[in-house]
Structure 1
Amino acid sequence: MKKIFFYSLFLVTLPNFAQTKLVTKTGKITFEASVPAFEEVKAKNESVTCILNPTTGEIASLALMKGFRFKVALMEEHFNENYVESDQYPKATFKGKIDNFDLSKLTTTAKDYTIKGKLELHGKTKDITITAKIKKTDNGVEIDSNFTVNTDDFDIDIPSVVSKKLSKKVAVTLDFTLK
């Protein structure tokens, strides 16, 4: 009986050892919601986790909202308390798939890939499609992308008193090196 259990457990866990996942815990996400002629509204989070299954092209990412740092401390406070309500919604996640991903075909020259998936932010989930530049380097697999997120899609309210100083179209940049 013990042998049967051991071999069953071995067969179940074997595929997990065969599938090596690429990971980072130091991914960078920058966003900017600045409007010309007003103070810069920009933040960076350098502790973003991202996992890529190179066999299937499945990718997942998690960013803690309190990990975003602003130049102005008061902006950071307003961001966490009034906009993303990070005590109630502490993280943003993305789960998706890189179309036609093949690790063996990556080179040191970045190639455009389409990534489709679900972005969850502020308690709302939205299907998104982005383009990312992906390449292989000595440090691992680099994924870089620029895309726009609309605050209305995630029910993030911008008070009328600051609506002229803050864009609803938020420019997002991500930079991941997975190993």
Structure 2
Amino acid sequence: MKYLLFCLAFVSLQMYSQDKYLTKTGTVNFEASVPAFEEVKASNNSVTAILNTENGNFAALALVKGFRFKNALMEEHFNENYAESDSYPKATFKGSINDFDADNIEKSKTYTIDGELTFHGKTKKLKQVPVNLFYENGHIKMAGEFETIASDFDIKIPKIVSNKIAETIKVDFQFVLSKK
């Protein structure tokens, strides 16, 4: 019986030491605008993300239909013709923050993150994406940006609009993560 209690206590301590920070209101924005044409820009403010401060593992999930554009027709075209969000409803990122040190995030610090971005059924490795992290008022704030290319995700831009939509897509993200 004592052995069983010891094992339960040990497992409980192990589970407790795994500090995870979570949000369901993260923001991911992307832009594929071309000068002199209508802005191609969207934002999703309901992205779920989790950071394990024990090892720096990070994951995020965005529902593709959660991206909002200024123009409703552009949003419809994005979901139906480009992202095909009925077939590919989620975008995910899974990775790890390099040299992550939970004890040093009290001050703003730039790390890099490596991982895999999955969108439109295709996965692309991302390496050395700069990420700013800091701890404030019980939350971990995380922000960064990177660029990717539409063709990496088999997104075909029709010739008729190819001069109005950039092939290179700028993505930025912000998360305020709270202890789980």
TM-score relative to the length of structure 2? 0.91
Cα RMSD of the aligned pairs, angstroms, is 1.9
Amino acid at match of 2:36: A
User: Deviation digits for residues 83-128 of structure 1, max 9, x if unmatched?
Assistant: 01000000110100001111111124x2110100111111011110
Q: More displaced, 7-16 or 156-165?
A: 7-16
Amino acid at match of 2:24: K
Contact 1:148–1:169 at 8 Å: present in 2 too?
yes
SS state of the match for residue 166, structure 1? coil
Question: Who is 1:88 aligned against?
Answer: 87
- Matches of 1:61 and 1:36 in 2, distance apart? 31
Q: Which residue number corresponds to residue 131 of structure 2?
A: 132
Change (3 A) 1:12 1:139: closer
Aligned pairs (5 A) from 1:140-151: 140-151=139-150
The AA in structure 2 aligned to 1:61 is A
SS of the residue 1:75 aligns to: helix
The structural deviation recorded for 1:61 is 0.4
Q: Give the whole-Å Cα distance in 1 for the aligned partners of 2:36 and 2:138.
A: 39
Question: What's the offset of the Cα at 1:163?
Answer: 0.3
Deviations 1:21-55 (A, max 9, x none): 00011000010000000000100000001100000
The runs of 5 or more residues in structure 1 that have no matched partner are none
- Structure 1 segments, 4+ long, off by >3 Å, are 2-14
In structure 2, the CA distance between the partners of 1:9 and 1:79, relative to structure 1 (3 Å rule), is farther
TM-score normalised according to structure 1 size:
0.92
Could you tell me the percent identity over the aligned residues?
51
Q: Specify whether residues 4 and 45 from structure 1 end up closer, same or farther in structure 2 by C-alpha distance, changes over 3 A only.
A: same
